[in-house]
Structure 1
Amino acid sequence: MATMRISIARHGANPLRPASGNGNFTYFRPGVAQPSKWHQHRSLSTSTSTSPSPAGPPIKSPVIFSGIQPTGVPHLGNYLGALREWVKLQDSAEEGTKLLFSIVDLHALTVPQDAKQLRTWRREAFATLLAVGLDPKRSTIFYQSSVPAHTELMWILSTVASMGYLSRMTQWKSKLQLPEDASLEDSEARAQLRLGLFSYPVLQAADILIHRATHVPVGEDQRQHLEFSRYTANSFNHLYGDIFPTPEALISPAKRVMSLKEPNNKMSKSHADPKSRILLTDSANEIKKKVKVALTDSEPKISYDPTNRPGVSNLIEILSHFEGVTCQEIASEYETASLRSLKEHVGSRIADSLAGIRERYLGIMDDKSGYLDSVAREGGEVAQASADLTMRKVKKAMGLA
């Protein structure tokens, strides 16, 4: 795979955002596994210039932060949409770029958790980050809960965060299965809503800002949360001085991977049918069986039509991620082929691509030397040192030190 470069501008327009217009993040063309704009901007520049950015303090070097919840072994959608992109960022980042990737286990507490299950899921998620290719010698990998400053900063940011802004966020509404226009005026919403779920975006902002992150790789569905973090950083800076950079989004080029059983919905571990998703630790045989029974349709020819043929289109999109060609090219190649042959190829391609991850994951989980725990401990120490530096600046600016 050719090295891809993201050029990050510090003094002016972000190349991943439009140069003019309403300021929305760049949207990538559907069906293209690696859009050209992503190729053009995949290098993290580490210029020694320290001129001020448009908002926030001077930025000497990029700091990249992202996190994933501990729900056990991630699925294919998590990998293509986030984890694989993290590894690409790590492997292409220039010297001086600071990379932090976290198992955000405190976020998991917005719903009740079984303690034993959560311990297992945390380890499984951490082992997966190592298995997909994150290198502890290059990236800081840690559990969110091992760095108390995340929650300390959350409280401080809560003093500047807007209740009105939080009430308009979609996170708590979707979790409670409420309509998008639900508000705090609704008695049903008030009865179900807990403070932790409502203030989830404040903790997410603290995760990013505690390390003074300049860039956050996110999926398209997380743009709203990143905008809240930017808003909160600017609100704090306005009151107390330039402490936090205004973080920019690195939008993943990967189109959402949909459920194999309900292709109009995103692939999820919450779906009752385990055949709806492919886990990164599934065996080759399990993967092929799941793809074989994936919901498609009865039309004889292969075509790419997400609206009218979501099942077939989902398989084509998955294949495009691995083969680096457009969905239209795949559809043309398989136009006269049978659905069975397409499924066989997709299943084999996924299985071959994930085989190494599965092998490394099993080796890490079977390791008796304490490797996983030592990486987590060392990562936590590095992350804590990063967070302490920020908290010293924050406390001094606020008169707490």
Structure 2
Amino acid sequence: MIRFSGITPSGHATLGNHLGAIRRWAREGGPGDLYFVSDLHGMTSAYHPQRLRVRARELLATLVAAGIEADQVFVQSDLLPQLGTLTWILECTCSFGEAARMTQFKEKSARRELEATPVRVGLFTYPVLMAADILLQGADEVPVGDDQAQHVELARTLARRFNGTFGEAFVVPAAVTPPAAARVRDLANPARKMDKSARDAVGVLYVMDEPDLLRRKIKRAVTDGLGRLEFRPDEQPGLANLLEILAACTGKPARDVPAEYSSYAELKEAVAEAVIEELRPVRERTKELLDDGVELDRIRARGAELAAERSAHRLATARRLAGVG
């Protein structure tokens, strides 16, 4: 059983990424699971090459620092020759209509047209690249949120079509719903999620933030003027966000947390301490890996080597069956 997940270096890893995905991968991942830094996915809109490179490296270090086994992680672009080949084969298996129906493409392209920014072809073909990511590694299960479920369904469609037309080459993956995690919201605007690509970082807690900066951001977190320490997400979203963060860091139910505090200020101080201690070992280990370039390069090269080895037979089979190998 191979469970397959990735994270895009569109920004620095946030507390939301850590609590919602990275920590869970480290704690609950099985020996066959694979995790990757999807840097190629970060090229579908305007980007800075050096920033993309640096963030991909930082994310790789963060995954390992969080406790994921080094031989289970890799950087997507290190498999560019394999992915380029398989993406073209799958693009020749996918219809224009299937690609055009992808909801994310419709929404993002419409938004960019309103902003008068170019809509890149890569944004249109990105779901096929995602299918290649999944099918190349023979993933059985792909944990995704609702926004990516349609892309996994496309991967299933292409796998079945290729297998039925040319011969068996691919595992047909299943989209699975990941276990419920803390709904970490932006501290300055609880109406939106804590996003690593947010333009305004005042409400975003990053894994690599120093303790003093984490504390300042949490103390400035938006709450309300009600003065009631209760878990009421609809009526008190800012307070509920802090309670969910504290609950995720301490392992206590969010509804039980308010009884331990007498004021918003006291609660914020507790949240700050819990977040600082939760992120401290990951931040320190990430720094160690980034400072030791030789070791991080070794981990990255080994991850790429293993990922290539795992996919070699599958890619060779697909090429042979498609008539190009």
Deviations 1:21-75 (A, max 9, x none): xxxxxxxxxxxxxxxxxxxxxxxxxxxxxxxxxxxxxxxxx12222111235301
Q: Which residue of 1 aligns with 2:298?
A: 374
User: d(CA) in 2 for partners of 1:307 and 1:262?
Assistant: 14
Paired residues, number: 323
**Does 1:203 find its partner at 2:142?**
no
The correspondence for 2:102, drawn from 151, 164, 169, is 169
Which consecutive residues of structure 2, in runs of 5 or more, have no partner in the other structure? none
Structure 1 counterpart of 2:88: 155
- Structure 2 distance, partners of 1:240, 1:89, is 37
Question: What is residue 22 of structure 1 aligned with on the other side?
Answer: none
Residue 65 of structure 1: aligned partner: 4
- 1:83 paired residue among 13, 18, 22: 22
| 1:343 correspondence with 2:254 | no
The one of 108, 111, 115 equivalent to 1:178 is: 111
TM-score (norm 1): 0.75
Q: Secondary structure at the match of 1:276?
A: coil
Q: For the structure 1 residues 292 and 144, does the alpha-carbon distance in structure 2 shift closer, same or farther, using more than 3 Å as the test?
A: same
Q: Which residue of 2 aligns with 1:141?
A: 73
- Assess if the C-alpha contact under 8 Å between 1:66 and 1:102 holds in 2: yes
CA pair 176-306 structure 1, distance change in 2 beyond 3 A: farther
| CA distance in 2: counterparts of 1:309 and 1:177, whole angstroms | 33
The letter for the 1-side match of 2:90 is L
Over aligned residue pairs, what C-alpha RMSD do you find?
Answer: 2.3
Residue 223 of structure 1 pairs with residue 149 of structure 2: yes
Partner of 1:109: 43
Matched residue SS, 1:236: helix
Moved more, 391-400 or 343-352: 391-400
Instruction: Determine the structure 1 residue equivalent to 2:310.
Output: 386
Assess if the C-alpha contact under 8 Å between 2:45 and 2:120 holds in 1: no
CA 1:193 to 1:65, structure 2 compared with 1: closer, same or farther past 3 Å? same
CA-CA distance at 1:128 after TM superposition: 0.9
Write the letter of the residue equivalent to 1:301.
Answer: R
Partner of 2:279: 354
Q: Which residue of 1 aligns with 2:194?
A: 267
Q: Deviations over 1:355-374 (max 9, x none)?
A: 11111111111125x00011
Change (3 A) 1:162 1:342: farther
The answer to whether 1:122 aligns with 2:122 is no
Residue 363 of structure 1 pairs with residue 288 of structure 2:
yes
Confirm or deny: 8 A CA contact 1:69 1:105 kept in the other structure: yes
Of 152-161 and 243-252, more deviation after overlay is shown by: 243-252
Output one character per residue of 1:102-154: Cα deviation in whole Å (capped at 9) or x when no partner.
11111111123222222211211111111111122xx3322111112112111
The TM-score with structure 2 as length reference comes to 0.91
Query: 1:189 Cα shift?
Result: 10
Amino acid at match of 1:231: T
* Structure 1 unpaired stretches of 5+: 1-61, 180-186
Look up the match of 2:220.
293
Contact 1:211 1:386 in 2 (8 A): yes
C-alpha change, 1:290 and 1:392, in structure 2 (3 Å) is: same
Q: CA deviation digits over 1:223-271, x for unaligned, max 9?
A: 2222222222222222223322221234222143111111011111332
Answer yes or no: is the 8 Å Cα contact 1:71–1:125 preserved in 2: no
Residues 105 and 278 of structure 1: is their aligned pair in 2 closer, same or farther, counting only changes over 3 Å? same
Q: Secondary structure at the match of 1:387?
A: helix
Deviation per residue, 1:156-188 (Å, 9 max, x gap): 111222332332323224434539xxxxxxx87
Superposition deviation, residue 349 in structure 1: 0.7
- Would you say the 8 A contact 1:258–1:265 is kept in 2? yes
**Separation (CA, whole Å) in 1 of partners of 2:39 and 2:198:** 21
